Amino acid sequence: MANEVQNTLVARGPNPLITQLKISAQYDPSNTEWVQSMGCKHANNSLFSFACLHPVPEPLLEEERKSFKSTTVFSDQIADSEDSGVISHITNAETWKFEHWGTDRDVFDVAEKLNEPDQWVIRFTSRWAPPLEAIQKISDDYPGLTFELGYWSCDSDFQGDAVFKDGECILDERAVWVPEQYVEQAKSLSESEKHPFIYGSLLKQHGSN
What local confidence, expressed as pLDDT, does residue 62 receive?
Answer: 80
Cα 122 from Cα 93, distance rounded (Å): 26
Cα 16 from Cα 120, distance rounded (Å): 12
Are 56 and 131 members of one domain? yes
Cα 34 from Cα 98, distance rounded (Å): 22
Are 104 and 159 members of one domain? yes
Q: Which residues contact residue 200 at a Cβ distance below 8 angstroms, ignoring those fewer than 6 apart?
A: none
- Classified as helix, coil or strand, 90 is coil
Are 102 and 195 members of one domain? no
Torsion (CA) 46, 141, 34, 92 in degrees, nearest 10: -110
Are 101 and 190 members of one domain? no
Are 108 and 201 members of one domain? no
Are 172 and 182 members of one domain? no
Question: What does the pLDDT look like over 106-134, one tens digit per residue?
Answer: 898 999 999 999 999 999 999 888 999 99
The vertex-158 CA angle with 109 and 186, nearest 5°, equals: 125
What local confidence, expressed as pLDDT, does residue 146 receive?
Answer: 97
Task: Point out which residues pair with 126 in neighbouring strands.
Answer: 5
What local confidence, expressed as pLDDT, does residue 69 receive?
Answer: 42
Cα 38 from Cα 52, distance rounded (Å): 9
Question: What does the pLDDT look like over 5-51, one tens digit per residue?
Answer: 999 999 999 999 999 999 999 887 666 666 665 655 554 557 899 98
- The CATH number covering residue 57 comes to 3.30.70.1270
What local confidence, expressed as pLDDT, does residue 84 receive?
Answer: 38
What local confidence, expressed as pLDDT, does residue 127 receive?
Answer: 87
Provide the residue range defining the domain that includes 182.
Answer: 178-209
Are 84 and 17 members of one domain? yes
What local confidence, expressed as pLDDT, does residue 104 receive?
Answer: 84
Question: What does the pLDDT look like over 72-93, one tens digit per residue?
Answer: 444 444 444 444 333 445 678 8
Are 77 and 157 members of one domain? yes
* Of 197 and 126, the one with more pLDDT: 126
Determine the average pLDDT of the residues in 205-209: 47
Are 19 and 69 members of one domain? yes
Are 172 and 191 members of one domain? no
pTM of this prediction? 0.73
Tally of domains in the chain: 2
Cα 80 from Cα 140, distance rounded (Å): 33
Cα 82 from Cα 99, distance rounded (Å): 20
Are 101 and 169 members of one domain? yes
Cα 163 from Cα 134, distance rounded (Å): 12
Are 51 and 119 members of one domain? yes
Range from 62-76, 79-93, 152-166 carrying the lowest mean pLDDT: 79-93
